Amino acid sequence: MDYDKNMSEKQFTVLGLINAENELKEPVSLHLRCIGGRKGLGRKIKVPDLNRPGLALSGFYDSFAYDRVQLFGKGEAAYLRKLELEGKTETIKHMFTYPIPCCIFSHRLLPDRNFLEEAELNQCPILQTDLSSTEFHAKLMQVLTNVFAPSLTLHGVLVEVYGLGILLIGDSGVGKSETALELVKHGHRLVADDTIAIRCVNGNNLIGAGSRTMIGHHMEIRGLGIINITRLFGVRAIRDRKEIQLVVELEEWNSSKEYDRLGTQEKYEELLGVRVPKLEIPVKPGRNIPVIIESAAMNERLKKMGYHSAREFNQNILRWTESDASKAVYFDTEDII
């Protein structure tokens, strides 16, 4: 399978964090607004983590995690007010000598005037959120985990069939898009066509989506051209992303190749270190590939529920064979007849 692994440095900025819900289509809202240091909104966030700078404010800068997002809660804000009243601003000036991505104040808290002036002087963005520190921490980690997750891009079609995310792969012209179009007609949903961006989230979940937002849920059908699935079938026929739970490789029928006819041999496709069940389906005139894929989806759901049709069939054959063999021990041929 041809794919491009994304090994380049993530280009994620503070401005992207503010607009994460829209630009990244993340299902969480961080409720962020910029209240200072706007000139630094282009600063890059390179580490998927945050830091509570309590020790740094007290003057202890050994092992200061300056490359992370700095979160100021009620405790840090109270300490800033104390430093302001006592006129101790040297530690704040020293903190801004580090290339901090941004500072975020939770609980709709506001920093003092000196803090904002130092931030403006050093072009460090100061953000504010309505969320509590705990809630913001959880949501921010969800966003950063998705953004910095290992990723790759491959050619194929991603569809949702009976709630199961199925990645269709195969040579160009084998009929992936036509198969997906027929599945959409049957009431299933299209996630993306042509190029699929896959991210490995939480170490074992493969989330697939379209890699080109401008194309959206369009599909190329040879002989017909580009069609808009949303316009033709409505919003019920699409979704933005889906976990990949089954890989189906479509290939031209090869009469010299031995295909699995029982289904007892499990095959897997490894993507970003995650093994996904895989089926190889030969394509030739007369075979109803969409129906086969629907059956494969239902069969895979049965497997996840603990029922394996091929294994049960194999066990029944073994029991039948053993039963007939045991009869031959106690009965001669005439008795059996």
Contact 40, 14 (CB under 8 A): yes
Sheet of 126-129, strand order: 32-36, 126-129, 103-105, 69-72, 50-51
Out of 43, 139, 176, 218, the active site residue is 176
261 is catalytic: yes
Of 247, 228, 249, whose CA–CA distance to 238 is shortest?
228
- Give the count of beta carbons closer than 10 Å to the beta carbon of residue 261: 7
In sequence order, the 6+-apart residues with CB closer than 8 A to the CB of 101 are 14, 43, 44, 45, 46, 67, 68, 69, 70, 125
Catalytic: 38? no
- Catalytic position from the list 94, 137, 194, 301: 194
Catalytic choice (38, 155, 301, 303): 155
The answer to whether 155 is a known catalytic residue is yes
Partnered with residue 247 across adjacent β-strands are: 167, 278
88 is known as an active-site residue:
no
Which residue in the list 62, 261, 332, 335 is annotated as catalytic? 261
First and final CA of the chain: distance in angstroms? 56
CA distance 118 to 239: 45
Q: Which residues are catalytic?
A: 155, 176, 194, 261
